[in-house]
Amino acid sequence: MSDLRKTLDKYNIKPHKYRYINKTCILYTDNEKYVIKNRKRLDKDKLYDYLLSRDFSFFLYPENDLSDDFEIYAYLDEVNIKKEEKAKDLMYVISDLHNRTTSYKNADLDKIKEIYEEKSAEIEYLFNYYNDLEEVFIMHVYNSPGEYLLLRNIDKIYNTLNYSKFLLDEWYKLVENNTKMRITLIHNRLKLDHFIDNKDAKLINFDYAEYNNPIYDFVYFYKNHYKELDMDSLYQIYQHKFRFTKEEELLFFIELIIPSKIKFTDNNYTNCLMVYDLNKYLDTTRDFILKQQEKDQKRYNTKQS
């Protein structure tokens, strides 16, 4: 606390109270509110200057020098809008970030092969993992509700893993001889909590930003919000502004569709919930991918006619 007081005194910020919203500390002065964060990365000033150089302004610049131990930001109140509207606005902002920071580099064929081998190994591991679970559960005289629910849906998991491998092989055929690859600055923790929607919309929390394949922002966003938002319409908004290449979209589908690993516990309710959530995720994501593939095929047919 003494280090924080020194930083606040340095900028003549005199709070009379503070409170936490989730993990965010908010300081109240007589006239202003501020958000205080521990500094997690040393190059934040270079990152922000780069964004400004690319004419991207949808982020909060700190009120203090980034050599300090803490970051101080002005607190912005959000407008009261539905999550769906906020998500649409976020799609415009993140597509703008990707467009403005796009660059191309020589393809790292060793890295491409490494991704292929890692994903292949992950799929094989999950297939063996769920096969072992199935064999154990089948041997039980009486199945718990969670075990029974998994056994009822085990074919869906196997089919999804086989489909994942098919997509992965298709992706590798496209990229194994690539000479160039596209990268952008990605936020890397993209979700509604990290977006302030008002007249000056702002992305916050660039602590994990990096240059990478642009798909990973939408992968993170999808996995955090697929239950509550219409991902098809949001993806179309994003793709209208920043369209994935064929190989990017295939890798995007692969990252989405590979099932997660369920670790059964001693709690039947928890086990049922995990299996239900996985089942729901697989159904939702399979439908999402099929819709995108249908739209891609229609676009291709239109171009050929």
Quickly tell me which residue has 């993140």 as its tokens: 94
Are both 2-75 and 99-304 of the same fold? no
Q: By CB neighbour count within 10 A (0-12 exposed, 13-18 middle, 19+ buried), where does 106 fall? A: exposed
Alpha carbons 39 and 68: distance in angstroms, whole number:
8
- pLDDT over threshold 90, residue 234: yes
SS3 227: coil
Specify the DSSP class assigned to residue 24: E
Are the C-beta atoms of residues 147 and 140 closer than 8 Å to each other?
yes
Instruction: List pLDDT tens digits, range 142-180.
Output: 999 999 999 999 999 999 999 999 999 999 999 988 889
Give the rounded distance of the alpha carbon of 125 from its chain centre.
23
Q: What is the pTM of this model?
A: 0.93
Extract the tokens encoding 157. Answer: 């998991």
**pLDDT tens by residue, 170-218:** 999 999 888 899 999 999 999 999 999 988 899 999 999 999 999 999 9
Per residue in 13-33, pLDDT (tens digit) is 888 888 887 777 899 998 899
* Neighbour-count burial of 25, counting CB atoms closer than 10 A to its CB (0-12 exposed, 13-18 middle, 19+ buried): middle
CATH of range 99-304; options 3.40.50, 1.10.10, 3.90.1200, 2.40.30: 3.90.1200
Residue ranges covered by each domain of the chain: 2-75, 99-304
Question: What is the rounded distance in angstroms from the CA atom of residue 35 to the CA atom of residue 28?
Answer: 9
Average pLDDT over residues 236-246: 96
CB 296 within 8 A of CB 304: no
Q: Which residue, chain included where needed, has tokens 């930001």? A: 73
Fold that domain 2-75 belongs to in CATH: Phosphorylase Kinase; domain 1 (3.30.200)
Length of the chain: 305
* Selection from 133, 152, 135, 140 nearest residue 264 by Cα: 133
CA–CA–CA angle 146, 258, 181 (5° rounding): 165
> Phi-psi region for residue 165, left (φ > 0), alpha (ψ -120 to 50) or beta?
alpha
